[in-house]
Amino acid sequence: MLRGAGLVQGAVALTGVLLVCLFAFSSERAALVRDMLAAAARMLSVYLPYAAVALIAFAVRLLPSVDFRSATSVFVFGPMTALRPIVALAGVIYGILPATRTQTSFLAVIVLALLFAVQGVLDRAAARESDATLPVALSPAID
């Protein structure tokens, strides 16, 4: 868990440095701010409904019923996990299509790439850890 938090903080720090550089070298900072805010608002119109569904599902899991918890895992969290990369990509595309500044599109694509990179690293680490905890009889055959 700490490894994941560290990776995410590194990605956020890199994004912050990139954002500072984009503003430092921009000749029209006010236009860049307006463009980035417009893109962010459009991205939120994709991400907020997804987040709302997750929050509602978490609220349902507070009910003292194994059936409700199982149902949210199967019918909400499973499909939403599969849809997460598509939602991330859709939000960025919807956000930057009308963007007028190249810096806005560049930053959004970099953030998306960092998101996918962190997710890939964490997925591989989780797979290694789960393989290490499997009993020898259940481990995949290694030639």
Q: CA 72 to CA 75: how far, in whole Å?
A: 5
Model pTM score = 0.81
Measured CA to CA in angstroms, residue 68 lies from 62, 73, 79, 97 at distances of 9, 9, 16, 39
Reported as a single tens digit per residue, the pLDDT across 75-93 is 999 999 999 999 999 999 9
Residue 143 confidence class, pLDDT cut points 50, 70, 90: low
CB contact set of 17 (below 8 Å; sequence gap of 6+) = none
pLDDT value, residue 91: 98
